[in-house]
Amino acid sequence: MIARIQGYCFGGGLELAAACDVRIAAGTASFGMQEVKLGIPSVIEAALLPTLVGWGRAREIMLLGERFGAAEALAWRLVEHVVPAAGLDAAVEAWIGKLLTSAPRAVRLQKRLIRQWEDLPLAAAIDAGMAAFAQAYATDEPAIAMRGFLAARQRRKPSQ
């Protein structure tokens, strides 16, 4: 899931963005978790903020309830990309295009594995990774992708 962030990204909107795999924001976007200003705590997906920005920055965002811009969101690792507002759609489309060059089943396995890693200690995360690697070879997708990779490499090789 890709969060395309333009304009205001407050409260539940920021929680939804935090739950996405990648966040691409317009340089004019504005962020904040202002619930404390309204007398209520941030909940549910707000719990994802520390994994993105660290505990100290998550505390700052949720306890102070202040607005911040796209440049801060990028510096704090809340978003992965900031682009001019006029180029937001093109940036999202470019990311999708790059993603579509990957093998679909492998992307699904990787996404599931990343979610597992978020909750597992290191040894269990490695075990889960090995199981996902084995699952990838349950189909012919790796062989097909490797043949395509090698063919493209051969085409780029200069003549002897």
Distance CA 122, CA 76 (A): 25
**pLDDT score recorded for residue 32:** 96
CB 18 within 8 A of CB 38: no
**pLDDT score recorded for residue 86:** 97
CATH for the 104-156 domain, from 1.25.40, 3.10.150, 1.10.287, 1.10.12: 1.10.12
**pLDDT score recorded for residue 27:** 98
- List the domain boundaries for the chain: 2-99, 104-156
Q: Which residues are catalytic?
A: 15, 35
Q: How far is CA 58 from the centre of its chain?
A: 17
**pLDDT score recorded for residue 151:** 84
Give percent helix, percent strand, percent coil of the chain, each to the nearest 5. 60, 10, 25
CATH for the 2-99 domain, from 3.40.390.10, 2.40.340.10, 3.40.190.10, 3.90.226.10: 3.90.226.10
- Same fold across 2-99 and 104-156: no
pLDDT by 10s per residue, the chain, length 160: 999 999 999 999 999 999 999 999 999 999 999 998 888 888 777 788 888 999 999 999 999 999 999 999 999 999 999 999 999 999 999 999 999 999 999 999 989 988 888 887 778 777 877 888 788 778 888 788 778 878 887 888 776 5
**pLDDT score recorded for residue 160:** 56
Distance CA 46, CA 64 (A): 14
AA identity, residue 127: D
**pLDDT score recorded for residue 145:** 77
